[in-house]
Amino acid sequence: MAFLLPIASGKGGVGKSVIAANLALALARLGRTVVAVDLDLGASNLHTCLGVRNRQPGLGALVWRAERNLSDLLTETAYERLWLIPGDGLLPGTANLEWAAKRRILRDLARLPADFVILDLGAGSSYNVVDFFLASTEGLVVVRPEITSILNAYSFLKTAAFRLLTRCFPDKSPGRAELLELGRGKTEGRGRSFLDAARELAERFPGEGSVALERLQALRPRAIMNQGLGKGDAELGYRLRDIAKQNLGLEVAFTGYLLDDPALPQSVALRTPLVALDPASPFSRGIRAVAARIDGEPRRAPAGSGGSRPGDVGAAAGGEAAFAGAAASAASGSAAHLEAEKPDQDTVLERLIAEARNRGAEEPLP
């Protein structure tokens, strides 16, 4: 199965789509098969960051059943081992999906013959975004070195944790009612985190409560600090880690620190990822370090399984150490370059693309 890697942000304007495009290309250049998926359904622009013209059907065509299969939407990019599934911001209704549609999309995404499927999510904390973020236990949250970005990222993580817990209990069940009551009040400053509440629910409702606790404990979101200006910015990142631990019981690990790079606006204007346009730039070196770190970690347990993975503690500790010294590391460009042969998934993806291109008119779905 493909590893789903959602990329979210608590607010817009933090560089989420630019990071998604560059990270996807950096992973592809490590020899991995990568599909970048534009799930910012209300404002799709990942195709622009990857230099793909907006001429192909996107996810909206699947939602409105104009296309039958997710693989029909695979679009070639100019880069080897990197494919795109566009969004459809111009089709009304795609920004507000029913749960059944989201579940179907997530199921099909996980079945794509790829190593990594990068999900570029919309900004903010809507349930559309949160549900796609919870497709992985280790999604990425992008922040900028400003207090509003940190607070919005915390709000996003709080919504994600609350959504994860409530989804474990049936509608109108006593456990769901208790969680809704918890959500109506302010948890900050009360000395009782979401994790504490989940432990209490596990004692009172051994079935659903135990599942909820297990899934919350398995949730290990990661953060990327973008547009950093120096070591002092790391302190803001640590504030996010501390308040998430104290109020939510979540362990937020840092996986990257990206220096502010004046070449980024030009790369977006040229519709070329900076990793390709200027591999030696500070941002490019930093994003390659992030890609190498993600690719070098052991494969994760599927989202919602609650299982741990080998090396979990070590990987988190490595990310923290990397973040602590990230300004110097990004400036020097130190990153592990991993060699890998072209995986078999490439051939499968090429076949799927050829089939989608040559396929005639489909019968409408029932």
What CATH code is carried by the domain that includes residue 300?
Answer: 3.40.50.300
Q: Which of 64-73, 139-148, 201-210 has the lowest mean pLDDT?
A: 64-73
CA distances from 204 to 104, 194, 212, 286 (A): 32, 15, 12, 47
Tens-place pLDDT, residues 296-306: 876 554 444 43
Between 30 and 326, whose confidence is greater?
30
- Residue 364 pLDDT class (50, 70, 90 cuts): very low
Q: Domain for residue 210, yes or no? A: no
Q: Domain for residue 7, yes or no? A: yes
* Residue in the block written with tokens 């789903």: 4
Q: Which pLDDT score is estimated for 312? A: 35
The pairing of strands 34-39 and 116-123 is parallel
Q: Domain for residue 172, yes or no? A: no
Of the chain, the percentage scoring pLDDT greater than 70 comes to 77
Q: Domain for residue 178, yes or no? A: no
Q: Domain for residue 281, yes or no? A: yes
Closest C-alpha among 55, 46, 33 to residue 273:
46
Q: Domain for residue 133, yes or no? A: yes
Q: Which pLDDT score is estimated for 336? A: 35
CB–CB of 364/65 below 8 Å? yes
Q: Which pLDDT score is estimated for 101? A: 81
Sign of the alpha-carbon dihedral angle for 361, 87, 301, 100: negative
- Residue 339 pLDDT class (50, 70, 90 cuts): very low
Spacing of C-alpha 7 from chain mean position: 3
Can you give the residue range of the structural domain that contains 84?
Answer: 3-155+215-357
Given a cut of 90, whether residue 273 has pLDDT beyond it is yes
pTM of the predicted model as reported, rounded to 2 decimal places: 0.82
Q: Domain for residue 168, yes or no? A: no
Mean model confidence pLDDT for the chain: 81
Q: Which pLDDT score is estimated for 123? A: 87
- Alpha-carbon distance of 1 to 73, in angstroms, equals 19
Tens-place pLDDT, residues 16-62: 999 999 999 999 999 999 999 998 876 778 999 999 987 777 777 77
The structural domain count of the chain equals 1
Given a cut of 60, whether residue 313 has pLDDT beyond it is no
Closest C-alpha among 362, 309, 358, 346 to residue 77:
346
Of the chain, the percentage scoring pLDDT greater than 90 comes to 52
Q: Domain for residue 165, yes or no? A: no
CB–CB of 229/283 below 8 Å? no
